[in-house]
Amino acid sequence: MYVLGIDGGGTKTTGIIATSKGEVVAKATVGGTNINSTGKIAVQSELQKLIRELKELAPQNFLLVKRVFAGMAGAGNITNQDALKAILQPLFSSEVSITIDHDAITALYSGTIGKPGVVQIAGTGAITYGVNEASDRARVGGWGHLFGDQGSGYAIGRDALEAAFKARDGLIEQTVLSDLLIQHFNKEELPDIIPIIYQAENPKKLISSLTVLVMKAVERNDLMAKHIIDQNGAELGMAISALVKQLFSQGNDVIRVVLVGGLFNRYDVLKESIERTIKNEGIHVDIIFPKIFPAGGAVVAALLEENIEIDEYFLETFNRTNYDN
Amino acid sequence: MYVLGIDGGGTKTTGIIATSKGEVVAKATVGGTNINSTGKIAVQSELQKLIRELKELAPQNFLLVKRVFAGMAGAGNITNQDALKAILQPLFSSEVSITIDHDAITALYSGTIGKPGVVQIAGTGAITYGVNEASDRARVGGWGHLFGDQGSGYAIGRDALEAAFKARDGLIEQTVLSDLLIQHFNKEELPDIIPIIYQAENPKKLISSLTVLVMKAVERNDLMAKHIIDQNGAELGMAISALVKQLFSQGNDVIRVVLVGGLFNRYDVLKESIERTIKNEGIHVDIIFPKIFPAGGAVVAALLEENIEIDEYFLETFNRTNYDN
């Protein structure tokens, strides 16, 4: 039996055809398919391209695909889910079952392999999402960069800029962040970076990329950088704790918390404040990282919907056969 | 003797021809002329239109204009000042002296009538600017809404949104801001307002306009709204204090601080936190509000450059003759 898992994001979308044992037989990647930002026509064209490529890579297996699970960015509401289903269904024979879900589920399952738990996603943006044993779902945050991405890469970068300019204005102590920013943009003085940021094609992404400077400043023992990491780590810890309290009545169970996204490449720096905050909130969690490629979470979800158990060999097989060709 | 004062902002530009006694003989308003946001060609066209209208309104007086002072948004650097001068100079005979300056000076002089002091501008954005007895200048803040507008209308509106969504996520106490936001946008629940804000033509201005909801919530004794006002008022107080410390060695002098911009329509609400913060910083200031129309500050600046003293009848005459026709 074959399933197709799709992980649809804002900048790229990956599809994987795999067996119930975790063997990857085809994998393809196309552009972004967030229906909120990309527009329906473009999403349709990207998904058509994805399915066409998978079909070409494994024509025989494609015909045996029984279920499609698509975890899509922007598919949090019924309207968008229906729109995406209407795009995908005509690309398959009518016997194929198609489920459209939020991409946070794909991210969660890439760590819990289908078990309940919480996923904290933090890249440019941040959102906390969870599913409990009763399949109840809840979310915290993810309201966009203007007022809802506490603890995201964007928030950390913005805090660094704010600190550097406040130090320049004599409002707070000096910080090495100022020098790091000037060097990073190869400029003479801090105000020279203003037009670069405001005139950037994607200021949100540019600001988020400044996170690396904050990490560098922490390594140089800069107090302001440490404060920024402490604050944003605490925001992530609070979001995780709030979600655990909403979904789980914690007895002796330890809740799985999956950390997904570029920010956690530097979990060494963020670990202390995140874990301290969660502990202070009286929550017991098991922090884990993705065990498989993100689209693997969609494959797992598709198999679970077919009532197939994911055994211990699944992960090993999946990671062994999921190579880029 | 006649002078021409121009107050050039992001959305509108006003020019006034006045006598040394403060008598307004012509006044005209055209569109925005911030060279950073509007573009050189459009700025040129607006300024040409402004001068043409003034000339039509008072052809005889126009010929007797000896000096032009233009306080222009976005004219903080020499490059932009030179560009604006190159636009204005050909519109006058070569004997006319033209000075291009930052519009913060115009705002300052609308309150101090040419005397040194500090101006705190706070509308959608915020900037603190000052000039001392030695004509030294300094600024604090005004680095744009993404990381530099603490204490602005934008910051207050953003804080309100952040608080409402955090309350929804169970991260902080409930606040009436949530209900006020839902009512304001005429929606069912908080997440329904997300697309309205992110898809707005001008999200910055829309978020800034939410300040009125925070003021309303303060009147209903909402703790979160009070906290937001307290925090942002303190940011303004800190910016003013930092600027006073940079520019003035305070003996027994009381420094004039002019408050300009839409946010101060509700100074009744902001007063306590702003004045407490300044006092805690050990600074003595005299808080004042504009005494004349903004472009009047440019008229004052032009007269000062001609070494004309602004006497006590000036303001009375200016305000009496500066009517909209």
- Are A162 and B140 in contact (CB < 8 Å)? no
The enclosing domain of A216 has a CATH number of 3.30.420.40
- Are B162 and A140 in contact (CB < 8 Å)? no
**Residue A122 shares a structural domain with residue A267:** yes
Q: Report pLDDT for B253.
A: 78
Counting the structural domains of chain B, the total is 2
**Residue A262 shares a structural domain with residue A302:** no
Could you tell me the CA-to-CA distances from B258 to A49, A267, B297, B310 in Å, in that order? 61, 47, 12, 18
Q: Quote the CA–CA distance of A137 and B280 in Å, as a whole number.
A: 48
Tens of pLDDT, residue by residue over A204-217, are 999 999 999 999 99
Q: Report pLDDT for A76.
A: 84
A146 Cβ under 8 Å from any chain B Cβ: yes
**Residue A154 shares a structural domain with residue A257:** yes
**Residue B135 shares a structural domain with residue B70:** no
Torsion of CA B275, B281, B284, B288, to 10 degrees: -40
Q: Are the C-beta atoms of A172 and A224 separated by less than 8 Å?
A: yes
Tens of pLDDT, residue by residue over B207-239, are 999 999 999 999 999 999 999 999 999 999 999
Question: A57: which 2 tokens?
Answer: 């890579």
The CA distance from A194 to the nearest CA of chain B, in Å, is: 7
Q: Quote the CA–CA distance of A277 and A244 in Å, as a whole number.
A: 13
Q: Which domain holds residue B210?
A: 116-290
Cβ neighbors of B111 (< 8 A, separation 6 or more) are B117, B119, B256, B258, B259, B260, B288, B289, B290, B291, B297
Q: Quote the CA–CA distance of B80 and B75 in Å, as a whole number.
A: 5
Tens of pLDDT, residue by residue over B120-178, are 999 999 999 999 999 999 999 989 889 988 999 999 999 999 999 999 999 999 999 99
For helices B211-219 and B223-247, give the axis angle rounded to 10 degrees.
120
Tens of pLDDT, residue by residue over A28-59, are 999 999 988 888 999 999 999 999 999 999 99
Q: In B, which residues are within 8 Å of A178 by CB distance?
A: none
A144 vs B140, B171, B198: nearest CB: B198
A198 Cβ under 8 Å from any chain B Cβ: yes
CB atoms within 10 A of CB A136: 12
**Residue B101 shares a structural domain with residue B176:** no
- Are A140 and B170 in contact (CB < 8 Å)? yes
Mapped onto helix, strand or coil, the DSSP state of residue A143 is: coil
Q: Report pLDDT for B324.
A: 62
**Residue A231 shares a structural domain with residue A268:** yes
**Residue B275 shares a structural domain with residue B136:** yes
Task: Using pLDDT thresholds of 50, 70 and 90, give the confidence band for residue A325.
Answer: very low
Average pLDDT of the segment spanning A76-99? 95
Could you tell me the CA-to-CA distances from B103 to A77, B14, B80 in Å, in that order? 47, 12, 13
pLDDT tens string, chain B, 325 residues long: the values are 999 999 999 889 999 999 999 999 999 999 999 988 888 999 999 999 999 999 999 999 999 999 999 999 989 889 999 999 999 999 999 999 999 999 999 999 999 999 999 999 999 999 999 999 999 999 999 898 899 889 999 999 999 999 999 999 999 999 999 999 999 999 999 999 998 999 899 999 999 999 999 999 999 999 999 999 999 999 999 999 999 999 998 676 789 999 999 999 999 999 999 999 999 999 999 999 999 988 999 999 999 999 999 988 999 999 889 876 4
**Residue A142 shares a structural domain with residue A268:** yes
**Residue B150 shares a structural domain with residue B24:** no
The runs of H, that is alpha helices, within chain A are 35-38, 40-57, 59-63, 78-88, 103-112, 153-168, 176-184, 193-198, 203-209, 211-219, 223-247, 267-280, 294-305, 312-321
Q: In what order do the strands lie in the sheet with B126-131?
A: B137-141, B126-131, B117-122, B255-260, B285-288
Q: Quote the CA–CA distance of A298 and B243 in Å, as a whole number.
A: 56
B185 Cβ under 8 Å from any chain A Cβ: no
- Are A242 and B170 in contact (CB < 8 Å)? yes
Report which residue type is found at B55: K
Q: Quote the CA–CA distance of A236 and A215 in Å, as a whole number.
A: 17
- Are A171 and B238 in contact (CB < 8 Å)? yes
CA-based nearest residue in chain A for residue B238: A171
Say whether pLDDT at A72 is over 90: yes
**Residue B20 shares a structural domain with residue B161:** no
Q: Residues of A numbered 221-250 whose beta carbons fall under 8 angstroms of chain B's beta carbons: which are they?
A: 238-239, 242, 245-246
Question: B289: which 2 tokens?
Answer: 């509000």
Tens of pLDDT, residue by residue over A220-274, are 999 999 999 999 999 999 999 999 999 998 676 789 999 999 999 999 999 999 9
Q: Report pLDDT for B180.
A: 98
Q: Are strands B2-8 and A285-288 parallel, antiparallel or unpaired?
A: unpaired
A251 Cβ under 8 Å from any chain B Cβ: no
**Residue A71 shares a structural domain with residue A131:** no
**Assembly ipTM:** 0.86
A200 Cβ under 8 Å from any chain B Cβ: no
Q: Quote the CA–CA distance of B143 and B153 in Å, as a whole number.
A: 14
Q: In B, which residues are within 8 Å of A198 by CB distance?
A: 144, 146
| The three-state (H, E, C) secondary structure of A58-104, written as one string | CHHHHHCEEEEEEEECCCCCHHHHHHHHHHHHHHCCCCCEEEEEEHH
- Closest to B208 measured CA to CA, from B121, B119, B128, B125: B125
B207 vs A139, A140, A146: nearest CB: A146
The CA distance from A134 to the nearest CA of chain B, in Å, is: 20
Tens of pLDDT, residue by residue over A272-281, are 999 999 999 9
Could you tell me the CA-to-CA distances from A156 to A120, A229, A236, B149 in Å, in that order? 16, 7, 12, 17
- Are B141 and A242 in contact (CB < 8 Å)? no
Chain A interface test: which of B34, B166, B188, B198 (most A C-beta within 10 Å): B166
- Are A239 and B194 in contact (CB < 8 Å)? no
Tens of pLDDT, residue by residue over A118-138, are 999 999 999 999 999 999 999
Average pLDDT of the segment spanning A158-187? 97
